[in-house]
Amino acid sequence: MVDEYAFKNGGRPVRRINCRLGELSAMTRALYFCFESASKGSRCEGAELVIEEVPLSVFCHTCNAVKTPSGRFNFRCPDCGFPTPKVVTGREMQLTSIELEAADENAARTHLSADYPTQQTSCQ
Ligand SMILES: [Zn+2]
């Protein structure tokens, strides 16, 4: 996706990719691990990958408040113990901005506002 973006915007190499990943998406390590091989030969090769991990939080209907579970897969309220299946944050998989190598003296920095749906990507 980033490669395609770079292609449509002058075809310059990508300098930096900023994204936010929810703790629950469990993609952070996979993405760091895959990035180098996945980006080879694309405009993303050599780019800096910056991942901001978003911690998990859930909504407890009993306490009527947003809570932080004690564990990643522990969907119970830490205070009242009732199940809290409603995830508030932690599922994010969002590309926040892409920086391309500057064509001239001015650094090209682009902000994306679109929210991309969570999708499973397989690494080979
Ligand atoms: Zn509660």
User: pLDDT tens digits, residue range 17-28?
Assistant: 999 999 888 778
Q: CA-CA distance, 64 to 70, in Å (whole number)?
A: 18
- CB under 8 Å to 2, separation ≥6 — which residues? 14, 17, 43, 44, 47, 95, 98
Pair (73, 103) in one structural domain: no
pLDDT for position 24:
85
Q: Find the 82 Cα to ligand 1 centroid distance in Å.
A: 6
| 8-12, 30-34, 48-52, 63-67: segment of lowest average pLDDT | 30-34
Å from CA of 57 to ligand 1 middle: 12
Q: Are 31 and 41 in the same domain? A: yes
17 and 38 inside one domain: yes
Q: What is the pTM of this model?
A: 0.71
Distance 25 CA to ligand 1 centre (A): 24
Q: Domains in the chain: how many in total?
A: 2
Q: Are residues 2 and 50 in the same domain?
A: yes
User: Has residue 124 got a pLDDT over 50?
Assistant: no
CA of 19: how far to CAs of 60, 63, 96, 104, in Å? 28, 32, 5, 25
Calculate how far, in angstroms, residue 75's C-alpha sits from the geometric centre of ligand 1: 11
pLDDT the model gives residue 89: 94
Cα(61) to ligand 1 centroid in Å equals 7
* Centroid of ligand 1 to alpha carbon of 116 (angstroms): 31
Say whether both 49 and 100 belong to one domain: yes
Closest CA to 27 of 94, 73, 82: 94
Instruction: Give the helix ranges, DSSP H, for the chain.
Output: 2-8, 28-39
Query: 76 is in which domain, residue-wise?
Result: 56-89
- Residue 24, phi then psi, degrees to nearest 5: -75, -25
